[in-house]
Amino acid sequence: MHEGRGRCPKCTAEADKARRPNGNPYSTSGHRRFREAVLARDPICVLCMSARATVADHYPTERRDLVDMGLDPDDPARGRGLCKPCHDKKTARTMPGGFAKA
């Protein structure tokens, strides 16, 4: 650990690999197409209806659950456009072990 700066690059890479052994699912071409289609369809946040949508949120089923059920997480029908503040609030409520971790 570097003083005051968090993990060193090697430790960060090791932690990322342990957390996502198959790589980052949000950096695939399928997810990029999902994001582009969702944000084109929902340019304004579907929750607050006032801010520009910048996040393609998996809804009503979380991405990890879609994968567990054998469903395509990159189908735009399984997403909605949200602004970052609305997405962060939703994630804090719905992702145990994520933002909501105590």
Could you give the number of structural domains in the chain? 1
Pairwise CA distance, residues 80 & 41, whole Å: 8
**In a domain? residue 77:** yes
Domain that holds residue 89: 9-94
Whether 12 has a pLDDT exceeding 90, the answer reads no
Closest CA to 90 of 67, 54, 51, 57: 57
**In a domain? residue 47:** yes
36 or 16, which is more confident: 36
Whether 1 has a pLDDT exceeding 50, the answer reads no
pTM > 0.85: no
**In a domain? residue 99:** no
**In a domain? residue 101:** no
Quote the pLDDT of residue 58: 94
4 or 76, which is more confident: 76
The residue type found at 67 is V
Buried b (16+ CB within 10 A) or exposed e, 34-59: bbebbbeebeebbbeeeeebbbbbbb
